[in-house]
DNA sequence: GATGAATGAGCTTTCATTCAT
DNA sequence: AATGAATGAAAGCTCATTCAT
């Protein structure tokens, strides 16, 4: 494990336990068994470290999601692929995944238009669904939000210990539920 | 507006813009037009202020949600009441509401069993639905998570400017979608 | 007990336990059952209170000591009177007395020439002893220091719990010891 | 001179002039020509610094006193050794010595049983004197207090400018006086 | 005389960052 | 590449003091 990776792992671990602000560079250095100064050879600052780690993983997730649906044609298949991919990633690197989810609010302002995001991948799938007629409801942003939230909260509730064990086992139920969500027809506002 | 309320409003405003850690007591005091020391007459510390405000509003939401469903018998009615109440509260006090949602991760560890939470209110409604047969799926915790997440994300995406305008207008679509979610039957795991 | 006296008693009590610096006006007010602001009706400041109380008691001791020897002619009688008076005062108002002794270092710089001090009273007795021939040693300041220190330390060691119980019972032994001290002849420095 | 020693010297100097409470860490840092933060690399806090310096010197004195009498057999010799050692130390490092004496009241509560103290060394000498018959009076704690006080006050009165110049020159007179003190026979209390 | 909320200067302490080694 | 002592800006917080009631 490289020095850089040791720093990342130690940092994310501490960030999750205490938050970025309450985590000191001294703690990170001690946990990674490097000198405090060494952090600055790989990252511009503590906040820069927090951001860079978020950004890399954020984009990693987006790429994985995009690849997971690349072969699918059918909407239901796409949903299943996305959900499965998402849950598998959460199970496989729980530390990074939970850090990604809980630190979103902090970093979202810094996400620029040119970056590929999970939200964009999902939006694209939904919009394709609308254009091909599989999705009747035309309020894409509301649907997309609800779908994304539904899956996110599964992970968040595991962080809060309201759900235990691997999440991948729930992929069918979750996919089915989401399939039902997108099938809803548009409402006429009174 | 009392000194305490001025402090709360100024603090939450700054917390939302910069996060708790990056907000200084000096800023809060200046914004509330009180002396820095006055913060400590009403709150034990900056973090204590952040927690207390979260806690009060968290419980306020729970109570409002509980009241909103108290008259309903039908499951669909309950869902509609909860969704409407939730969205109305978000629209009415957007500042507090968005602070509540974005600071959840920080404060959830400190929530004790004896506190009434929105999650509890929703869980109760879902479990009643299961026991009365309206909900077929018996994985209450997964359903509850997805439902909660779906509604939360609506608000979060407004914070991220992915959704614009009042949220209350979407109550019918959201309620209908959630009604569809809970109607899903249980899956048999392979 | 007047408000002023309640403040003094509470303050001195706290000063002894924690030192003047670590004692807050809030504590004094709470202990004296008055409002914080009321302290300032009787004293100019916290440090002013500490000083004023010291000064009053310091002079009170000096006056008592002076009176105690006013009738005595014989040197041994004078020593016995001073010692007895000193010990009796310590026993009678232990709180004030121990405050006086332990806070001396802090306040000594502020003692002006015109104030009557215990040290002056003792010096006078010693110098009379020298001039009447009862004391052979002419290094008055060294003798006086040693005599004063011998008696002081009795009280200090009670503060440190190295001596227990009333001090007045030791008056004979102490007087006798001091009588022996002043009887020492001068040394010729090599 | 090491960073730590520069901090100690500057701190003690300021503590003597103004007291610990009125001395700021800024002043210490400026006087020692180090950054404020550097104080905390060597000491846990300002009070911790005050205590640690006291403790080290307190124990240093105790060790020196113990060594000074280690070769002596005769009681009078012991007294002379202790007095000479004590006065020499005062003359040699006046700053530390006067800090030690004036800050005793503050720190005495924190002295634990396992620490070697000057008081213990003196007590041992007195008790040996009693057991070997050189000291008739069996109230060891009263004698010890008086002897200790007599020598302390010499130093204190120099702090108060009541005595000028080196103290070591007075060693013969002081030793002789103390020898007379311990020779006093016990009193029968009426 | 008494109160105690409000003040704000100034304190101790922390800690991200630098840089000589 | 790695170190960790030194830095010093800036933070949270305290608390003596004031003053309208």
Q: Would the CB atoms of D173 and C142 count as touching at under 8 Å?
A: yes
Question: Could you tell me what percent of chain D has a pLDDT over 90?
Answer: 87
- Rounded to whole angstroms, the Cα distance separating C120 from D113 reads 38
Q: What is the mean pLDDT of residues C7-16?
A: 97
Neighbours of D123 (CB within 10 A): 18
Q: What is the mean pLDDT of residues D22-48?
A: 96
Question: Up-side HSE of residue A5: CA atoms within 13 Å toward CB?
Answer: 2
Q: What is the pLDDT of residue B137?
A: 74
Q: What is the pLDDT of residue C91?
A: 98
Helix and strand counts by DSSP (H, E) for chain C? 10, 0
Q: What is the mean pLDDT of residues A36-60?
A: 96
Pick the CATH number of A53-183 from 1.10.357.10, 3.30.1180.20, 1.20.120.420, 3.20.190.10: 1.10.357.10
Enumerate the nucleotides of strand F whose atoms come under 7 Å of any protein CB. Answer: 1-20
- Rounded to whole angstroms, the Cα distance separating C154 from C162 reads 9
Averaged pLDDT of chain D = 93
pLDDT in tens, C46-71: 999 999 999 999 999 999 999 999 99
pLDDT for D188 beyond 70 = no
Q: Would the CB atoms of C187 and D169 count as touching at under 8 Å?
A: no
Region(s) of chain D under CATH 1.10.10.60: 1-43
Averaged pLDDT of chain C = 94
Neighbours of A43 (CB within 10 A): 21
C-alpha distance from D88 to closest chain C C-alpha (Å): 16
For D137, the closest chain C residue by CA position comes to: C173
Shortest-distance nucleotide from B40 CA to C1': F13
- The CATH superfamily assigned to A1-43 is Homeodomain-like (1.10.10.60)
Between CA B93 and CA B103, with CA B97 as vertex, the angle to 5 degrees is 150
Q: Would the CB atoms of D154 and C156 count as touching at under 8 Å?
A: no
Q: Would the CB atoms of D181 and C181 count as touching at under 8 Å?
A: yes
Query: For every one of its 190 residues, what pLDDT tens digit does chain B have, with 9 covering 90 and above?
Result: 889 999 999 999 999 999 999 999 999 999 999 999 999 999 999 999 999 999 999 999 999 999 999 999 999 999 999 999 999 999 999 999 999 999 999 999 999 999 999 999 999 999 999 888 888 777 889 999 999 999 999 999 999 999 999 999 999 999 999 999 998 877 766 5
pLDDT in tens, A22-31: 999 999 999 9
| Of B142, B160, B172, Cβ closest to residue A163 | B142
| Of B141, B159, B187, Cβ closest to residue A162 | B141
- Rounded to whole angstroms, the Cα distance separating A53 from A66 reads 20
Structure tokens belonging to residue C59? 């002079």
pLDDT in tens, C143-154: 999 999 999 999
Q: What is the mean pLDDT of residues C115-135?
A: 91
Q: What is the pLDDT of residue A51?
A: 96
Question: Could you tell me what percent of chain C has a pLDDT over 90?
Answer: 87
Neighbours of D104 (CB within 10 A): 17
Q: Which of C148, C168, C172, C152 is nearest to C160 (CA)?
A: C152
pLDDT-based confidence at residue D105 (cuts at 50, 70, 90) = very high
Chain D residues 40 to 79 with C-beta below 7 Å from nucleic strand E: 40, 45-47
Q: Would the CB atoms of B139 and A187 count as touching at under 8 Å?
A: no
pLDDT for D112 beyond 70 = yes
Shortest-distance nucleotide from A35 CA to C1': F3
pLDDT for A55 beyond 60 = yes
| Of B108, B142, B157, Cβ closest to residue A145 | B157
Interface of D with C (CB under 8 A): 19-22, 102, 105-106, 108, 119, 137, 139, 141-143, 145-154, 156-157, 159-160, 162-163, 169-170, 172-174, 176-177, 180-181, 183-184, 186-187, 189-190
Q: What is the pLDDT of residue C133?
A: 81
Region(s) of chain A under CATH 1.10.357.10: 53-183
Residue found by looking up tokens 């090491």 in the block: D2
pLDDT-based confidence at residue A184 (cuts at 50, 70, 90) = confident
pLDDT for C11 beyond 90 = yes
Q: What is the DSSP letter of A19?
A: -
For CA atoms A70, A72, A75, A76, the dihedral sign is: negative
pLDDT-based confidence at residue A72 (cuts at 50, 70, 90) = very high
pLDDT-based confidence at residue D38 (cuts at 50, 70, 90) = very high
Chains touching C (at least 3 CB pairs under 8 A) are: D
pLDDT-based confidence at residue D158 (cuts at 50, 70, 90) = very high
pLDDT in tens, D116-152: 999 999 999 999 998 888 887 778 899 999 999 999 9
Considering only CA atoms, which residue is closest to the C1' of nucleotide F15? C24
Region(s) of chain C under CATH 1.10.357.10: 47-183
Pick the CATH number of D50-182 from 1.10.357.10, 3.40.50.150, 3.30.1360.200, 3.40.50.10860: 1.10.357.10
C139 CB-contact burial (10 Å; exposed 0-12 / middle 13-18 / buried 19+) = middle
- Rounded to whole angstroms, the Cα distance separating D157 from A180 reads 92
Structure tokens belonging to residue B79? 């869902």
Q: What is the pLDDT of residue D1?
A: 81
Q: Would the CB atoms of A106 and B150 count as touching at under 8 Å?
A: no
Q: Which of A19, A58, A126, A173 to mutate to test the interface with B (most CBs of B within 10 A)?
A: A173
For B141, the closest chain A residue by CA position comes to: A163
Q: What is the mean pLDDT of residues A2-29?
A: 95
Region(s) of chain D under CATH 1.10.357.10: 50-182
Averaged pLDDT of chain A = 93
CA of B35 to C1' of E6 (A): 7
Residue found by looking up tokens 């009498």 in the block: D69
CB A87 within 8 A of CB A150: no
Neighbours of A48 (CB within 10 A): 13
- Rounded to whole angstroms, the Cα distance separating B43 from D117 reads 45
pLDDT for A119 beyond 90 = yes
Is the CATH number of domain C47-183 3.50.30.10? no
| Residues with Cβ within 8 Å of residue B189, at least 6 apart in sequence | A169, A172
């Amino acid at each position: 494990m490289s020095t850089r990776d040791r720093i990342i792992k130690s940092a994310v671990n501490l960030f999750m336990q205490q938050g970025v602000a309450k985590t000191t560079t001294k703690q990170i250095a001690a946990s990674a068994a490097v000198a405090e100064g060494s952090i600055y050879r790989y990252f511009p600052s503590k906040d820069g470290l927090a951001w860079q780690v978020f950004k890399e993983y954020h984009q990693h997730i987006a790429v994985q999601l995009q690849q997971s649906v690349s072969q699918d044609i059918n909407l239901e298949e796409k949903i299943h692929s996305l959900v499965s991919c998402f849950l598998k990633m959460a199970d496989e690197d729980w530390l990074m995944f939970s850090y990604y989810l809980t630190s979103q609010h902090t970093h979202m302002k810094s996400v620029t238009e040119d970056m590929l995001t999970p939200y964009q991948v999902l939006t694209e799938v939904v919009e394709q669904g609308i254009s091909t007629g599989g999705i009747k409801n035309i309020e894409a942003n509301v649907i997309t939000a609800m779908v994304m939230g539904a899956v996110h909260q599964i992970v968040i509730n595991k962080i809060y210990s309201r759900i235990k064990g691997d999440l991948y086992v729930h992929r069918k139920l979750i996919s089915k539920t989401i399939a039902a969500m997108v099938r809803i027809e548009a409402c006429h506002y009174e």
